[in-house]
Structure 1
Amino acid sequence: MIKVLIIEDDPMVANINKLYLLKVPGFSLAGIVHSGTEALNFLSENSRKVDLILLDVFMPQMDGLTFLRELKLKSPDIDVIMVTAAQSVDSVRAALSRGVVDYIIKPFTYERMSVALNSYRSRYNILRNNKSLEQTVLDKEFFSKESTSDDSLPKSVEAHTLCIVKDRLAQQIRPCSTQELAEIIGISRVSLRKYLIYLENMGDIKSTLTYRHKGRPTQMYQYVGKNDI
């Protein structure tokens, strides 16, 4: 499990972060603190129990960007996803220069958070389970050098989420329903359906109707691997 520390001074937002985090498979909550100062104290005793931090910028005592600078000096192996209302170019530039792996602007949706977490989990597992990496893996998982650009996709289909949906389907050993796949990926069925329709139209997946003992037949999806994203 990927252990996550939430640093957020607003209790309501901290709870939303917690609820969203625990809905995505593969993550556990290491703790919640309310300022950069509290976070440094927490990490001084629990640094080995934290892999990832969800970090706000605007906080009392020590703001998120100051904390981020201190974190990279003391615990450089801990990754950070910014979850903040800070939209200024200076804030974004400072966060990126200090190595954040994603930047989510409040207010945000569960789908956006799940995309960030799923993407991070994929990269985390790749780095943990491999001693060397090929260029294609680096391009796909870390540097977004995909052969298909966003301009070629429908407006309702986001390239990174499309990659995640395709990859998760490719990993399944049997056909999946929309409900099953939505739970695996961590997005809503409504959002997922547009990606399934697109992938089926492109020939990457196929669907079949399965008749169960009760209720209406269920549409099942299976990866066939005709095209690459």
Structure 2
Amino acid sequence: MMNVLIVEDDPMVSAINQQYLKKIIPSAQLSLTKTDNGAHALSILKQQPVDLVLLDVYMPKLSGSEVLTELMRLEIHPQVIMLTAANDTDHVKAAIDYGVLDYLIKPFTFDRFEQSVTKFLQIHQSLKNTGPLAQKDLDQLFTTPSAQSSQLPQTLPKGLSRLSLERVLTAIQPLQAPFSVQDAAQAAKLSRISTKKYLDYLIDTHQLSSSIKYLAVGRPLTVYKFAN
């Protein structure tokens, strides 16, 4: 379950953020909390674990920058994506000093929002493993999305999203082969139907191969592995 806190004092913007988020993370895998001020956000963060905070700057009682300062003082470190109209140096510096994951200036597009949340999901998935990370795993964490995507084609078939393709690719790389659609969907936190579209594309482009696994009970299962 992904625990996300939206901190936004404009009800319309808060609703849009929620709508965008639910287009990326399935509702069954999302635990969402919302508040309209920084003071209440801090209270929530002290009481319950939060994986990701979508944080505005200009809010009553306590600004987003003040929230970041308090989080550092309290040594509470959820991943934070700033979603704000504040583009002055002081607020940006406060965000950098905290180590925010991304900083989006309002109004932002869904594609830009999806890029930020996808980056968070990639990091969250990679750090779930307690063992040592290989250099390629670290490269995925610390390389900018634009550099990661440079090896992907500029155009995709209709109905496929470049960001979602990156998300599926990142999710399936650590999986033990052969893996199923269900395995890939759980790793990418996408629906089975959406995930299969991207697996089919990766087969069509010879990046994956598939085979049939016969089970003792039930239908045969299609499984996948990276092509040699």
Using structure 1 for the length normalisation, give the TM-score: 0.67
SS of alignment partner, residue 129 of structure 1: coil
Gaps of 5+ in 2: 211-222
Q: Which residue of 2 is the match for residue 51 of structure 1?
A: 51
Assess, with a 3 A threshold, how the Cα gap between structure 1 residues 62 and 184 changes in structure 2: closer, same or farther: closer
Quote the offset at 1:169 in angstroms: 6.3
Q: Which residue of 1 is the match for residue 113 of structure 2?
A: 113
Of 17, 28, 31, the match for 2:31 = 28
Alignment of 1:58-137 (within 5 A): 58-137=58-137
Q: Which residue of 2 is the match for residue 16 of structure 1?
A: 16
Assess, with a 3 A threshold, how the Cα gap between structure 1 residues 198 and 91 changes in structure 2: closer, same or farther: farther
One-letter code of the match for 1:37? Answer: A
Quote the offset at 1:168 in angstroms: 4.7
SS of alignment partner, residue 128 of structure 1: coil
Q: Which residue of 2 is the match for residue 143 of structure 1?
A: 142
Supply the distance in 1 between the matched residues of 2:190 and 2:10 (Cα, whole angstroms): 27
Q: Deviations over 1:19-38 (max 9, x none)?
A: 22233133321x21112122
SS of alignment partner, residue 122 of structure 1: helix
Q: Which residue of 2 is the match for residue 167 of structure 1?
A: 170
Identity of aligned residues (%): 37
- Contact 1:118 1:185 (C-alpha < 8 Å) held by counterparts: no
Supply the distance in 2 between the matched residues of 1:173 and 1:196 (Cα, whole angstroms): 11
- Contact 1:166 1:223 (C-alpha < 8 Å) held by counterparts: no
- Contact 2:122 2:170 (C-alpha < 8 Å) held by counterparts: no
SS of alignment partner, residue 99 of structure 2: coil
SS of alignment partner, residue 31 of structure 2: strand
- Contact 2:3 2:30 (C-alpha < 8 Å) held by counterparts: yes
Query: Alpha carbon RMSD of aligned pairs, Å?
Result: 3.9
Supply the distance in 1 between the matched residues of 2:111 and 2:203 (Cα, whole angstroms): 21
Deviates more, 1:105-114 or 1:92-101: 105-114
- Contact 2:179 2:225 (C-alpha < 8 Å) held by counterparts: no
- Contact 1:56 1:82 (C-alpha < 8 Å) held by counterparts: yes
One-letter code of the match for 1:144? Answer: T
Assess, with a 3 A threshold, how the Cα gap between structure 1 residues 161 and 22 changes in structure 2: closer, same or farther: closer
Q: Deviations over 1:87-144 (max 9, x none)?
A: 334433321221111222222233333332232123123223223222221111x211
Quote the offset at 1:13 in angstroms: 0.8
Gaps of 5+ in 1: 208-221
Quote the offset at 1:71 in angstroms: 1.2
Assess, with a 3 A threshold, how the Cα gap between structure 1 residues 223 and 167 changes in structure 2: closer, same or farther: farther
